[in-house]
Amino acid sequence: MPDTSAPRAAGDHSHGGSVRQFYAKKGAKRMPTVARAQGIYMWDTDGKRYIDASSGPVVSNIGHGNERVLEAMIAQAKKVAFASRAVFENEPSIQLADLVTGLAGPGLERAFFVSGGSEATEAAIKLARQYAVIRGEAQRWKVIGREPGYHGASLGALAVTGDPQAHAAFGAMVKTMPKAPAPFTYRLPANHDADSYARQCAAALDELIRREGPESVLAFIMEPVGGLATGALVAPDHYYKTVREICTRHGVLLIYDEVMSGAGRTGAFLAADHWPEGRPDLVTLAKGIAAGYTPMGAVLAPSGMVEAVAESGGFLHGHTYAANPLSCAVGYAVVQEMIEKKMMANAQKMGARLRQRLEALQAKSAILGDIRGKGLLMAIEIVADKETKALLPPERQAVYRIMELGIERGLLLYSRRTANGKYGEWLMISPPLIVTESEIDEIVHLTGETLAAYEAELRRDKVI
């Protein structure tokens, strides 16, 4: 047996070790090791405390260590943790389906549970495809995505993901799908404002469908409030209505990827609820639906679609862990807790406070260019110059350095450089929906200190 007792640098043993070995170079600085978490705070094994200002990767919606969820987890595990859906129905999955479809409302009457966001994307596009085949529209197979956009890491999800870097590496292995431009609102092409650019982006979707041949297009998938790919991008209201009209006109299904924006995060159960005129045909959920307590995802679909697929012989898709009793019992407790503790209302209220406090910070900062988002799905964009919106030099990998400076100060932020920073660089500020006023103030205070430290580095190196 290898000696695992001594402190190690990533990758210094011949087997085992941290998953970081798949990401970090040999000898790279170790990340702290997590010891425990409660509410919106986390502690490492040295006893250092961190404020979870991003809910991890926008997952821990109801905060850490929730007693109700832990009790539900133990109670269900004691009854039955796993039962094959080939043999048994299980009550927790039925309860969770009833609950989430009730919250999602008309047109989304059925729920198909999976184990994460990528699986939800796969299931949604396969359900859409099977439905088209059943309806005699087998020529419809193209699923248009947005550039940039993110729908998961599996190869099917990658095909609809708008990420040039991922496509450079894996594109040869997938049937890359067409992409329509994402309606950015901050850094805009010349002679455009956010409204006119959103109109142009919607028109570009229409043109793309026509160019591809409307009869060949199955669906359009987009994040109604963006995740990391666009930094919590919210389009002008008219975009959602127009996109809906375009899809309807061409017989194209509209899929909202609500893996990040769903489950209450934006102050409504679905981000779709903010734009009733842009109602989607299918919705994917993950992350917040089980809030990190168990791997969980879902596809919400219209009953007519599900019935047609079932009548034709059944959905040609499934995963071993799909709708397992333990995960569903946990998901049910999470969603119940979110509803009973009125976390959506808190997300609205605290989101407004977060924005207001960040705006005050922006006025003092030379590099905080934009604040955007909805509810508690917020992001800040970092620039070299607020006037020109100039990008920072890519070799500085600004957001990763800012995350590091945050960790030093006990602040956890979340970011990933979309398309190597081509569209800009942003960090998510998306605390658990239980966040209080004083915790919002603490997050913004630490964010201010972190950005000031980074600004000082940029000045020292004469970058700004």
Ligand X SMILES: Cc1ncc(COP(=O)(O)O)c(C=O)c1O
**Among the residue ranges 126-134, 151-159, 388-396, 437-445, the one whose residues contact ligand X (CB under 6 A):** 151-159
**Closest distance to ligand X from the beta carbon of 191 (Å):** 31
Residue nearest ligand X, Cβ-based: 117
Asked whether the beta carbons of 264 and 104 are under 8 A apart, the reply is no
For the window 120-139, what string marks contact with ligand X as x by the rule CB under 6 A? -x------------------
Nearer to ligand X, 240 or 454 (CB): 240
Amino acid at 397: Q
Nearer to ligand X, 250 or 265 (CB): 265
The verdict on 431 binding ligand X (CB under 6 A) reads no
**Closest distance to ligand X from the beta carbon of 124 (Å):** 10
State which of residues 257, 337, 425, 455 lies at the interface with ligand X (CB under 6 A). Answer: 257
Nearer to ligand X, 59 or 458 (CB): 59
The verdict on 150 binding ligand X (CB under 6 A) reads yes
Nearer to ligand X, 146 or 244 (CB): 146
Distance of CA 222 to the CA centre of its chain: 11
State which of residues 140, 146, 151, 265 lies at the interface with ligand X (CB under 6 A). Answer: 151
State which of residues 263, 286, 405, 458 lies at the interface with ligand X (CB under 6 A). Answer: 286
d(Cα 31, Cα 29) in Å, to the nearest integer? 7
d(Cα 299, Cα 258) in Å, to the nearest integer? 10
The verdict on 278 binding ligand X (CB under 6 A) reads no
**Closest distance to ligand X from the beta carbon of 418 (Å):** 11
Amino acid at 145: G
Which of 15, 41, 17 shows the shortest CA–CA distance to 31?
Answer: 17
Question: First and final CA of the chain: distance in angstroms?
Answer: 52
The verdict on 428 binding ligand X (CB under 6 A) reads no
Tell me which H or E stretch contains 374.
strand 368-374
Site residues (CB under 6 A) for ligand X, limited to 55-74: 57
Nearer to ligand X, 299 or 443 (CB): 299
State which of residues 260, 323, 402, 428 lies at the interface with ligand X (CB under 6 A). Answer: 260
389, two tokens: 């919106």
Which residues on neighbouring strands pair with residue 145, listed in sequence order? 179
The verdict on 369 binding ligand X (CB under 6 A) reads no
Nearer to ligand X, 118 or 242 (CB): 118
- Residue 404 makes CB contacts below 8 A (sequence gap 6+) with none
The verdict on 116 binding ligand X (CB under 6 A) reads yes
d(Cα 34, Cα 258) in Å, to the nearest integer? 28
The verdict on 118 binding ligand X (CB under 6 A) reads yes
Asked whether the beta carbons of 162 and 179 are under 8 A apart, the reply is yes
Tell me which H or E stretch contains 256.
strand 253-257
The verdict on 158 binding ligand X (CB under 6 A) reads no
The verdict on 152 binding ligand X (CB under 6 A) reads yes
Which residues on neighbouring strands pair with residue 144, listed in sequence order? 220
Asked whether the beta carbons of 14 and 2 are under 8 A apart, the reply is yes
Site residues (CB under 6 A) for ligand X, limited to 226-255: 227
Tell me which H or E stretch contains 144.
strand 142-147
Which of 294, 315, 272 shows the shortest CA–CA distance to 110?
Answer: 315
- Residue 453 makes CB contacts below 8 A (sequence gap 6+) with 405, 409
The verdict on 166 binding ligand X (CB under 6 A) reads no
What are the strands of the beta sheet with 425-429, ordered from one edge? Answer: 368-374, 377-382, 425-429
d(Cα 131, Cα 108) in Å, to the nearest integer? 15
Nearer to ligand X, 114 or 218 (CB): 114
Which of 175, 109, 83, 50 shows the shortest CA–CA distance to 431?
Answer: 50
**Among the residue ranges 145-153, 212-220, 244-252, 434-442, the one whose residues contact ligand X (CB under 6 A):** 145-153
**Closest distance to ligand X from the beta carbon of 20 (Å):** 17
d(Cα 361, Cα 349) in Å, to the nearest integer? 19
Nearer to ligand X, 427 or 458 (CB): 427
The verdict on 117 binding ligand X (CB under 6 A) reads yes
Binding site for ligand X (CB under 6 A): 57, 116-118, 121, 150-153, 223, 227, 257, 259-260, 286
